[in-house]
Amino acid sequence: MTSPSTTPNDTTLRENVLAEISFDPAIKATTIEVTSKGGTITLAGTVTSYAEQICAEEATKRVAGVHGLKDQLTVALPTSYHRSESDILTAITEALIRDVTVPNTITATVSGGFITLTGEAQWQYEITNALRCAQFLTGVCGLTNTMVLKPPQSTAYDIAAQLARTFARNATISSDKIKIEITGNSNVTLRGTVHSLGEHDETTRAAYCLPGVHGVQNLTRVG
C-alpha cells in the first residue's frame, strides 16, 4: 500500500492511471484524457460504451495515490452499438427479471439511450446488482438511479457493533483508522483514513451489507 511519504506526484499519478487504463483489456478507447491535481483524477474524452466508462472509473480507483475521481467522459456509440429505445427497454427488463438477486419491485424506463431505474429494495446489493444489469447492455449511454433503499429495522448499537466486527475481519480495510458513527438509528457516517479509493468503496459496501442501514455517508479520506 502507498504511504503518505511515497504518494506519487501528479505527473507520476497521471502516468500510473493511464498505464492502468491501457492495461485493462475491457477498455478499448484510446481517446481517454487523464489529468491529475492534488491526487484527484479527472477523466475526459470519449468511450464507445457506458460499460467502458464504468471500467475506466474502476481502473482509476485501483491506482495507489488516487484521492478522488471526476468522470467527465462522454459515450459516443459506434453505429454497430446503436439500439432503439424499445430494444434497450426489452433488454433491461429481461435482465432484471433473470437476475435472481434483483427484486421485482425494481423497474426501468429508457429515453435517448439513458436508463432510469426506480423502485424499492431492502438491501443495497439488490440496487447494486440492478445497476450492473443495466451498465453492460449494448446501446446504453448512461444510467440514472432513483431506487430507494428501505432496509429491515435494527438498532444503532447493533449496527455499530456488527460493522466494527465486519471491518476488523476484512483484509482490505484498516479498521483501526476508521471511526463509525450512527445517527437516527439507521444512517452510518464513516470518518478516518483509507489507503485507496478502492478501500473507501469497500467500507461503503460493507456498511450497506448490514440489516437496518438506510444510508452511508463516507467521509474517509485517502492518506
* Domains delineated in the chain: 4-75 (3.30.1340.30), 82-149 (3.30.1340.30), 156-222 (3.30.1340.30)
Q: For residues 213 and 160, give the distance between their C-alpha atoms in angstroms, rounded to a whole number.
A: 10
Q: Which of 106, 111, 124, 98 is nearest to 213 (CA)?
A: 124
Count helices and strands in the chain by DSSP H and E runs:
6, 13
CB 16 within 8 A of CB 63: yes
Confidence of residue 2 (pLDDT cuts 50, 70, 90): very low
CB 115 within 8 A of CB 143: yes
CB 99 within 8 A of CB 133: yes
Q: For residues 67 and 5, give the distance between their C-alpha atoms in angstroms, rounded to a whole number.
A: 15
Q: Which helix H or strand E contains 146, and what residues bound it?
A: none
Q: For residues 144 and 134, give the distance between their C-alpha atoms in angstroms, rounded to a whole number.
A: 10
Q: Which of 109, 115, 182, 178 is nearest to 143 (CA)?
A: 115
Give the model's pLDDT for residue 28: 87
Q: Which of 35, 107, 43 is nearest to 71 (CA)?
A: 43
Q: H-type helices in 24-177, by residue range?
A: 50-61, 85-98, 124-135, 156-169
CB 216 within 8 A of CB 207: yes
**pTM, entire model:** 0.80
Average pLDDT over residues 115-140: 96
Q: What percent of the chain is modeled with pLDDT above 70?
A: 97
Q: Of how many residues is the chain composed?
A: 223
Average pLDDT over residues 60-86: 95
Q: For residues 43 and 32, give the distance between their C-alpha atoms in angstroms, rounded to a whole number.
A: 7
Looking up cell 478522488 gives 68
Give the model's pLDDT for residue 187: 92
Give the model's pLDDT for residue 67: 92
Q: What is the pLDDT of residues 58-72, one digit of tens each?
A: 999 999 999 999 999
| 180: number of Cβ within 10 Å | 19
